Amino acid sequence: DQQVKQNSPSLSVQEGRISILNCDYTNSMFDYFLWYKKYPAEGPTFLISISSIKDKNEDGRFTVFLNKSAKHLSLHIVPSQPGDSAVYFCAASPPGSQGNLIFGKGTKLSVKP
């Protein structure tokens, strides 16, 4: 049973517009949520995170929103750039874990010039 779900396998956006990547989760006890970006043939790189006690965190062009009642988080990229084209993974940290993360299956973002 998937605890972290990214229901859109792919997303295509025009350069300069907003990209919104979505993630749903089932466990209300998750402590933290993280977003990773992955280019082909490279390891994932950490992008941004949010604590379960917050509802928004912003870092430059990237903003993560957390809606605890809906068990939903989203990553907004504004403005989108062709270099943002990558696979984005949502991850959640269970409480009391040894730092384990539970990953979604990823969403492939394509930003067209």
Partner 1 sequence: DVKVTQSSRYLVKRTGEKVFLECVQDMDHENMFWYRQDPGLGLRLIYFSYDVKMKEKGDIPEGYSVSREKKERFSLILESASTNQTSMYLCASRVVGGYNEQFFGPGTRLTVL
Q: Read off the tokens for 63.
A: 């903003």
What Å distances lie between residue 112 and 16, 35, 52, 81, 82, CA to CA? 9, 22, 33, 8, 6
Q: How far is the CB of 22 from partner 1 (least distance, A)?
A: 15
Q: Read off the tokens for 60.
A: 């430059």
Q: Taking CB under 8 A as the rule, which mask of x and - marks residues 13-52 in contact with partner 1?
A: ------------------xx-x-x----xxxxxx--x-x-
Q: Read off the tokens for 101.
A: 């993360």
Please identify which residue in 16, 67, 100, 112 interacts with partner 1, judged by CB under 8 A. Answer: 100
The two beta strands, 107-112 and 10-14, are parallel
Closer to partner 1 by Cβ: residue 14 or 39 = 39
List interacting residues with partner 1 (CB under 8 A).
6, 9, 31-32, 34, 36, 41-46, 49, 51, 89, 93, 97-101, 103-106
